[in-house]
Homo-oligomer: A and B are copies of this chain.
Amino acid sequence: MCQLLGMNCNVPTDICFSFAGFHHRGGRTDEHADGWGIAFYEGPGCRVYLDTKPAAESPVATLVKSYPIRSTNVIAHIRKATVGHVALENTHPFVREMWGRYWTFAHNGTVGEVTSRTLAGRFRPVGRTDSEHAFCVLLERLQARFPDGDPGIDPVRAEVAIIAAELAPLGTFNFLLSDGRALFAHCATRLSYLVRKAPFATAHLVDEDYAVDFSELTTPEDKVAVIATQPLTDNESWTTMTPGQFLTFVEGEPSG
């Protein structure tokens, strides 16, 4: 299984602290050493940095850890190859444009049977993972449901929840999805989150002996939601999502 990390905020925030802990799981504190990737939204723009090296050794990870890219939505993924070999085209997050927005998707688990679902062609996988195929199914379904274009966050949220519940029985379908406005999180087996907001305090990483006092870096209005396969800090209160739970994070606030 892979490791997921997401961030959703009401003000552009860098993910250096969380990523500093997270990237160790790619080959150092965990065995997921088959490449990794991260997507950052800045307004409607999106940058995705992928690498096939283990995150713990990747020069690109060193960059991401030290270069404070301020973003309102981030999705990161460390891969343990199950379906599809170690290759760039199999590396999450995957990106597609729909309705004039970039959509990004990362998945933890396998839903192998999804590949038997025929795709109409508007979205096609480039690599060989069941994850990318599932992403294409999801987008195709959204496109078919809203043929006139972007219906706004609420209708999208409702439809993604329906599609997630439909695909979930095919296997293990923990995923993070974003269109740059919202971060959608579906828990099949393991996903936790927290919301950092005022009064901010010091957070200490699990994967490395490193702490940051967020009260020095934030304003009282800031809200930063962090979602991860396993909690990243050992002195904060993480909420464990329940199997089948689907949450939408907007401006740092989760809603069911």
B42 touches A87 (CB 8 A): yes
Does A197 count as interface, using CB distance less than 8 angstroms?
A: no
Which residues of B lie under 8 Å from residue A155 when comparing CB positions? none
Q: Is A149 within 8 A of B126, CB to CB?
A: no
Interface residues of A in 98-129 (CB under 8 A from B): 99-102, 121-127
* The residue from B45, B49, B100, B122 contacting A124, defined by CB atoms under 8 A apart: B100
Question: CB distance B89 to A45 under 8 Å?
Answer: yes
The size of the chain A interface, using a CB distance under 8 A, is 36
Of the candidate stretches A58-66, A198-206, A237-245, the one touching chain B is A58-66
The reply to whether B45 and A88 form a contact with Cβ atoms under 8 Å apart is yes
Q: Copy number in this complex?
A: 2
A45-B126 contact, Cβ under 8 Å, with A60-B63, A66-B59: yes
Chain B nearest CB, measured from A102 CB (Å): 6
Chain B residues in 8 Å Cβ range of A149: 121
Q: How far is the CB of A42 from chain B (nearest CB, A)?
A: 5
Asked whether, in the complex, the Cβ of B100 is within 8 Å of the Cβ of A43, the reply is no
Chain A contact residues, CB within 8 Å of chain B: 42-52, 59-60, 63, 66-67, 87-91, 95-97, 99-102, 121-127, 149
Question: Considering the complex of A and B, which 3 residue pairs feature the smallest CB-CB distances, nearest first?
Answer: A45-B88, A45-B89, A100-B124
Sample of 18 A–B contacts (CB below 8 Å):
A42-B87, A43-B87, A43-B88, A43-B89, A44-B126, A45-B50, A45-B91, A45-B127, A46-B88, A47-B48, A47-B49, A59-B63, A59-B67, A60-B63, A97-B123, A100-B125, A101-B126, A121-B149
